[in-house]
Structure formats: structure tokens, C-alpha cells
């Protein structure tokens, strides 16, 4: 008699050309990832050749019951690490039946910005450091923490090894390998300052692909924690008090920044970011005010400050970039629950397309 695991791991290539495509989209809350699967007649490697689909938007907070159909448009294809073989994951965005993007479709606006000739010419690279916290399912308390209690103070846990310091490494490594299998540009992982908190990095990735890849990496993490019976939280401050929050530091460069003389381009870009600080903060994730307090490696949410190697700044420039006179910078303001489509496109828009109507140094301090 076949066991459940045997059936889950069936190799379909022995008996059919058909494949399974898991269509993924961002749900109504802006942070929930939804998916459903369909059978295709054979392998597909071009999203434009995939059929559009639809779902009941009234059940995801994306449509009303009397007009509930929302259209899924395939945008990016990844290998499926769960079903393996030639099966695929498909990142989609969402449209009303009349072809208009629905309000929760943040990819559409981002794609417009990234398709601008001036933006395309600059080949914007992004590297996103996605932090998250693993929680015990029945208590919503961090993994490895005593029930109803607290571990010892922060210090021993960052990049640590050992059963008393590192919690959930099997989940983290499974996610790392699954992302590599899927074709995501995952560049590393590490344990974070708060126990039970981890980080993975996606990039460098160009333009709209950064958002696609971070969303699919989040989806894969949700699926793996589902299997493990653990909850993943992207809350920017999951535990109040003297514990680090969770961010999504966004590393960024343009072709001009990576070329000789790029440091001057970087400084001008940072000045623009300072002038639009409020607009960026409003787009950088819900609940970020609980994280950006000026403590725990953050700048205060109301202040824009940048510096070299300063992890208490809004924007950090690395020592190597300063020394070489070119490179990249890190925007440390985005929260862990930010939308990567919104954040990456806004950074590109501000630094490449936007020009201030008048120049002033208000709120743009260097540390």
C-alpha cells in the first residue's frame, strides 16, 4: 500500500507530458500570499504563453460579492521546489475584468516605472535583506523562547550556533535550498539579533524582478513553515521592549553609481531620498513606527540621516563604496512587511526620475 509521502513524491514525467502550475498572487491585506494550481498540457518557460486565470476576489478582500471575479495575469515563472520535475510556480498580478489593475496590484505601477527609458538605461540593481520571525503555532510566541517567558538578553544569538542560541535552522536551510532550486537569486541567510529571528537576502536583481523574487521567496517560506507546523511573522516589531525589530533593508545601485565617479551620484541620490523622507516612510510598511525608534540599529522615523558604516542611520554607505568612489548604498528604513514592488520602484523613481522643485537641505543630515 502506498504511503502519503509516496503519492506526494510521484514522478509524473513517467506517465504524462502534463505539468502543474501553481499560480501565486498577493491577497487583499497586501501581505498575504494566495495560490491555486492548474494542469497545463506541457512545459512552459515564457509567462506570456501561460493562460490567464481568475479567482473569487470577494473571498480575499479584493472584490465585492456581486462582482467578484478577479483576473490573474502570469508575470514570472519559477521552478516548483515542492512538486519538482517540470512543474512551476507562477507569480501573477491582478486585474478587474475590464483590464484595469485592482487597487492591491502594486506590480503594475512598479512595472511602469521600471519601463521608463531613463530607468532602464540605469539598470537599477536591488539587494533586499528580508528579516522574519518564526513563531510557535499554538502560542504565537517566538520559536525557542520559554512559554510565557523570555530568553536571555540579546547578544549571543546573532549568527550563532548551538541549541541554546539558534532556533529553526532546519526551516531556514530548507528555504535557502528551495529558493535556489526555484531560480531565485537568493544570496545568503543568517540568524538575527533577536532569537527566533532570521534573514534571507535576495539579489542583486534588476528592476521589477526584485519584487517578483521576494514575493515568491516569501511564498516558499510560508509553504515550508506550513509543513513544519511553525508560523512566520513579518511584523516589524513582533516583541515589544528591548528586542530588535524586523526590517527589509534595501541595497541599491544604478549603472552611474557603479561607474567611476559614482560616489557623487550616490550622494545626490541620498539627498533626494532625504527630501522625500515622508513619502518613503508612508510607503515602507505598516507599523514601522514601532521599529524606527532610534534604538536597536535604527534611525528615528521622523529624522533622515545618512552616514558611512552607520547602522543607526536611515541610509548607510559601506566603507568599500567610500574607498572605491563607487558602488551602492543601503536604505535601512523599509519594514519587514513592506511591498517590494512599492519600495524598489519608489527608490528608482526618486533617485532617477524625480527632480526637486526647489533645493534645500532640510532633514538631510550626514553622520
Quote the cell numbers at residue 101. Answer: 489593475
359 — pLDDT class (breaks 50, 70, 90): very low
Is the model more confident about 207 or about 356? 207
pLDDT of residue 358: 59
Condensed to tens digits (0 to 9), the pLDDT of residues 263-294 reads: 999 999 999 999 999 999 999 999 999 999 98
3-class state of residue 128 by DSSP: strand
* Nearest-angstrom CA–CA distance, 129 and 214: 10
Q: Determine if the peptide bond prior to 126 is cis (ω within 30°).
A: no
Mean pLDDT over residues 308-328, rounded?
94
Dihedral sign, CA of 131, 159, 188, 124?
Answer: positive
Condensed to tens digits (0 to 9), the pLDDT of residues 130-156 reads: 999 999 999 999 999 999 899 999 999
* Contact by Cβ (8 Å): 75, 65: no
* Contact by Cβ (8 Å): 286, 292: no
Q: Is residue 205 pLDDT above 80, yes or no?
A: yes
pLDDT of residue 366: 56
Q: Is residue 228 pLDDT above 90, yes or no?
A: yes
3-class state of residue 26 by DSSP: strand
Residue 121 CB neighbours (<10 A):
12
pLDDT of residue 312: 86
Rg for the chain, CA atoms, rounded: 21
Q: At what angle do helices 340-348 and 106-114 cross, to 10 degrees?
A: 30
Q: Is residue 362 pLDDT above 50, yes or no?
A: no
Q: Is residue 24 pLDDT above 90, yes or no?
A: yes
Condensed to tens digits (0 to 9), the pLDDT of residues 161-173 reads: 999 999 999 999 9
Quote the cell numbers at residue 131. Answer: 528579516
Condensed to tens digits (0 to 9), the pLDDT of residues 53-92 reads: 999 999 999 999 888 999 999 999 999 999 999 999 999 9
Q: Is residue 20 pLDDT above 60, yes or no?
A: yes
Residue ranges in 39-167 assigned as alpha helix (H) = 106-114, 117-122
* Nearest-angstrom CA–CA distance, 98 and 92: 17
* Nearest-angstrom CA–CA distance, 344 and 305: 20
Q: What is the value of pTM for the model shown?
A: 0.95
Condensed to tens digits (0 to 9), the pLDDT of residues 95-105 reads: 999 999 999 99
As a whole number, the mean pLDDT across the chain is 95
360 — pLDDT class (breaks 50, 70, 90): very low
CA nearest neighbour of 114 among 362, 333, 349: 349
* Nearest-angstrom CA–CA distance, 95 and 71: 5
Sheet containing 69-79, strands listed edge to edge, beginning at the edge strand earlier in sequence:
33-40, 19-26, 88-95, 69-79, 53-56
Q: Is residue 361 pLDDT above 80, yes or no?
A: no
Amino acid at each position: 500500500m502506498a504511503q502519503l509521502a509516496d503519492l506526494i513524491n510521484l514522478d509524473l514525467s513517467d506517465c504524462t507530458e502534463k505539468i502543474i502550475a501553481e499560480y501565486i498572487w498577493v491577497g487583499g491585506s497586501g501581505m498575504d500570499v494566495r495560490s491555486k494550481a492548474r494542469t497545463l498540457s506541457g512545459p512552459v518557460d515564457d509567462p506570456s504563453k501561460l493562460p490567464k486565470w481568475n479567482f473569487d476576489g470577494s473571498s480575499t478582500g479584493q472584490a465585492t460579492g456581486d462582482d467578484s471575479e478577479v483576473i490573474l495575469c502570469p508575470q514570472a515563472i519559477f521552478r516548483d521546489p515542492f512538486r519538482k520535475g517540470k512543474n512551476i510556480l507562477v507569480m501573477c498580478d491582478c486585474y478587474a475584468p475590464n483590464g484595469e489593475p485592482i487597487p492591491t496590484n502594486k506590480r503594475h505601477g512598479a512595472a511602469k516605472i521600471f519601463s521608463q527609458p531613463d530607468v532602464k538605461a540605469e539598470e537599477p540593481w536591488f539587494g533586499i535583506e528580508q528579516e522574519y520571525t518564526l513563531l510557535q503555532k499554538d502560542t504565537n510566541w517566538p520559536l525557542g523562547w520559554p512559554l510565557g517567558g523570555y530568553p536571555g538578553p540579546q547578544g549571543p544569538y546573532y549568527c550563532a550556533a548551538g541549541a541554546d542560541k539558534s532556533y529553526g535552522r532546519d526551516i531556514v536551510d530548507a528555504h535557502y535550498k528551495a529558493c535556489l532550486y526555484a531560480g531565485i537569486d537568493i544570496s545568503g541567510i543568517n540568524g538575527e539579533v533577536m532569537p527566533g529571528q532570521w534573514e534571507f537576502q535576495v539579489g542583486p536583481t534588476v528592476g521589477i524582478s526584485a519584487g517578483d523574487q521576494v514575493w515568491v521567496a516569501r511564498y516558499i517560506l510560508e509553504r515550508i513553515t506550513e509543513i513544519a507546523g511553525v508560523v512566520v511573522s513579518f511584523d516589524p516589531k513582533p516583541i515589544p521592549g528591548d528586542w530588535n525589530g524586523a526590517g527589509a533593508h534595501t541595497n541599491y545601485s544604478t549603472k552611474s553609481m557603479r561607474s567611476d565617479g559614482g560616489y557623487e551620484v550616490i550622494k545626490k541620490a541620498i539627498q533626494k531620498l532625504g527630501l522625500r523622507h515622508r513619502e518613503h516612510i508612508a510607503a515602507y510598511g505598516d507599523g514601522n513606527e514601532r521599529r524606527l525608534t532610534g534604538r536597536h540599529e535604527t534611525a528615528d522615523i521622523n529624522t533622515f540621516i545618512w552616514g558611512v558604516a552607520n547602522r543607526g542611520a536611515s541610509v548607510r554607505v559601506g566603507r568599500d563604496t567610500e574607498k572605491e568612489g563607487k558602488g551602492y548604498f543601503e536604505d535601512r528604513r523599509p519594514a519587514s512587511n513592506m511591498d517590494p514592488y512599492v519600495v524598489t520602484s519608489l527608490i528608482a523613481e526618486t533617485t532617477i526620475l524625480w527632480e526637486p522643485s526647489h533645493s534645500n537641505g532640510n532633514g538631510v543630515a550626514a553622520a
